[in-house]
């Protein structure tokens, strides 16, 4: 079997391959996601390369060809080749010498089967040579084509090498597994091993778990995988206080509303105790999550939410309210969701501080109070009040234009 993909003919990539070309088996292979996704007909985000050539020689050959070599993970055998403004990771074949469940000490190898044996799932241990010819040292191709997420060798051994492979098992199941494609359930041996060794998750860096959870929740339908996580005790380790009960109904409503996956809305649906801290979300992500939660606690019409907080928060609020059986009083419900979001996001408050100053209100605290009161009346009118009506209201009875 041979890969058929436009990226194989990329000029920057071919320059890297030409630079590393050597005699006999001294060559380079594609591996991982670029091979897996191409065989599945899915988009390829990154092109990773592996080789029996040791890092120092990789660097020498790249530089001799006029390419930049960046030692991004030299102790683990990884060099980044920069060609035509693009980066390509090149990692020397490796074997694990020692592991502690979080990281590994490695030695370099010249055997592709040894390199394959240290990877996580059989579908990630499929290689292709520079011509695109498949090299499958562990027989992972049948698993890939069957959408079977199977650990390499004994699942417990693979997990003990790196406990992050537990959430990865569920993430890969959500994106590529049998459950998503209607061919059966989650691979039972892997699931049993994840359940048995779930305690190992507690020793992982929370940001690593957070990265996996965000990728998992961004899958087209993560609900079956997350339900399995909950049933075997993994979800509670990754996200204390979370429940999978609302996730499947939310995904169903997303489909009916014709909207894409939003991991933040789905994370909110899980209802964990403190997801921003538990998953070490960025400040911007934590703020976005807090806005959604605040809107659920004190809901407003979708258009108002979109105007004040943006389309993403408004959409999440509407879908989560509908998931819980609360229409929120929005006319048309999900059928008008995008129309209402666009209406709110595009609405422009017609009154400026300069308008109030021109009308005789002095700059100062009273000006801010008057402007905010006018904005509240405008929102309460569903954006209907015009500039004249708002100005008249601000200058109405009981207001002192000289205050401040």
Q: Of the candidates 97, 112, 145, which is a domain's last residue?
A: 145
Please identify every stretch of the chain with a pLDDT value under 50, giving residue numbers as ranges.
329, 331, 397-399, 401-404
**Is residue 347 classed exposed, middle or buried when 0-12, 13-18 and 19+ CB atoms within 10 A define those classes?**
middle
Give the CA count within 13 Å in the CB-facing half-sphere of 197.
Answer: 24
Q: Does residue 317 belong to any structural domain of this protein? A: no
Q: Of the candidates 145, 170, 186, which is a domain's last residue?
A: 145
The 3-state DSSP composition of the chain as helix, strand, coil percent (nearest 5) reads 55, 10, 35
CA distances from 16 to 22, 34, 56 (A): 12, 16, 15
CA distances from 385 to 321, 379, 389 (A): 28, 9, 6
Residues 164 and 139 sit within 8 Å (Cβ to Cβ): no
Gap between the Cα atoms of 299 and 317, Å rounded: 8
- The pair of structure tokens assigned to 86 is 């693009």
Q: Does residue 296 belong to any structural domain of this protein? A: no
Q: Of the candidates 110, 145, 180, which is a domain's last residue?
A: 145
Which tens digit of pLDDT belongs to each residue from 229-255? 999 999 999 999 999 999 999 999 999
Q: Sheet of 29-31: strands edge to edge?
A: 68-73, 78-83, 86-92, 48-51, 29-31, 127-128, 134-135
User: Cα 250–254–260 angle (5° rounding)?
Assistant: 125
Q: Domain of 112: which CATH number? A: 3.30.460.10
Which pLDDT value is given to residue 290?
97
Which pLDDT value is given to residue 169?
97
Which pLDDT value is given to residue 292?
97
- The pair of structure tokens assigned to 32 is 């991982």
What domain count does the chain have?
2
- Host domain of residue 126: 6-145
Exposure string of 116-140, with b = 16+ CB inside 10 Å and e = fewer, is bbbbbbbbbbbbbebebebbbebeb
Element containing residue 108 per DSSP (H, E) = strand 104-108
Gap between the Cα atoms of 57 and 170, Å rounded: 37
Please give the backbone phi and psi of residue 152, each rounded to the nearest 5 degrees, phi first. Answer: -75, 125
pTM above 0.85, yes or no: yes
Residues 39 and 140 sit within 8 Å (Cβ to Cβ): no
Which pLDDT value is given to residue 98?
65
Please give the backbone phi and psi of residue 341, each rounded to the nearest 5 degrees, phi first. Answer: -65, -45
**Is residue 172 classed exposed, middle or buried when 0-12, 13-18 and 19+ CB atoms within 10 A define those classes?**
buried
Which pLDDT value is given to residue 73?
82
- Give the residue among 71, 84, 90, 78 at the shortest CA–CA distance from 29: 90
Task: For strands 127-128 and 29-31, give the pairing.
Answer: antiparallel
CA Rg, the chain, in Å? 27
Q: Does residue 273 belong to any structural domain of this protein? A: no
Contacts of 367 (CB under 8 A, 6+ apart): 353, 356, 357, 361, 404
- The pair of structure tokens assigned to 268 is 């909110």
Gap between the Cα atoms of 57 and 44, Å rounded: 28
Q: Does residue 23 belong to any structural domain of this protein? A: yes
- Give the residue among 322, 356, 60, 398 at the shortest CA–CA distance from 365: 356
Element containing residue 96 per DSSP (H, E) = strand 94-99
């Amino acid at each position: 079997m041979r890969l058929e993909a436009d990226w194989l003919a990329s000029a920057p990539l071919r320059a890297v391959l030409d630079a590393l070309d050597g005699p006999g088996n001294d060559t380079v292979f594609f591996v991982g996601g670029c091979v897996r996704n191409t065989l599945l007909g899915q988009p390829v985000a990154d092109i990773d390369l592996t080789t029996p050539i040791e890092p120092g020689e990789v660097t020498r050959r790249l530089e001799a060809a006029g390419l930049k070599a960046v030692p991004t993970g030299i102790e683990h055998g990884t060099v980044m080749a920069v060609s035509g403004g693009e980066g390509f990771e090149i990692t020397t074949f490796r074997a694990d010498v020692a592991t502690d469940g979080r990281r590994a000490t490695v030695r370099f190898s010249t055997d592709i089967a040894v390199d394959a044996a240290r990877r996580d799932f059989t579908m990630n241990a499929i290689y292709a040579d520079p011509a695109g010819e498949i090299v499958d040292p562990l027989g992972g191709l049948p698993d890939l084509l069957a959408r079977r997420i199977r650990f390499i060798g004994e699942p417990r051994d693979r997990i003990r090498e790196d406990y992050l492979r537990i959430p990865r098992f569920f993430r890969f199941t959500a994106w590529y597994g049998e459950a998503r494609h209607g061919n059966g359930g989650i691979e039972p041996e892997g699931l049993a091993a994840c359940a048995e060794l779930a305690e190992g998750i507690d020793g992982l860096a929370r940001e690593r778990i957070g990265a996996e959870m965000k990728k998992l929740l961004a899958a087209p339908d993560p609900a079956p995988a997350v339900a399995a996580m909950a049933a075997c005790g993994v979800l509670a380790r990754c996200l204390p206080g979370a429940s999978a009960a609302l996730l499947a109904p939310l995904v169903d409503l997303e489909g009916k509303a014709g909207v894409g996956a939003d991991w933040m809305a789905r994370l909110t649906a899980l209802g964990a105790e403190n997801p921003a801290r538990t998953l070490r979300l960025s400040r911007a992500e934590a703020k976005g999550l807090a806005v959604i939660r605040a809107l659920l606690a004190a809901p407003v019409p979708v258009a108002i939410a979109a105007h004040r907080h943006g389309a993403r928060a408004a959409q999440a609020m509407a879908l989560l309210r509908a998931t819980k059986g609360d229409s929120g009083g929005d006319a048309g419900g999900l059928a008008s969701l995008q129309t209402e979001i666009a209406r709110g996001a595009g609405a422009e408050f017609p009154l400026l501080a300069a308008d109030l100053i021109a009308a005789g209100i002095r700059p100062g605290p009273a000006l801010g109070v008057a402007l905010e009161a006018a904005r509240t009346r405008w929102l309460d009118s569903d954006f209907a009040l015009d500039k004249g009506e708002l100005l008249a209201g601000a200058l109405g009875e009981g207001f002192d234009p000289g205050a401040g």
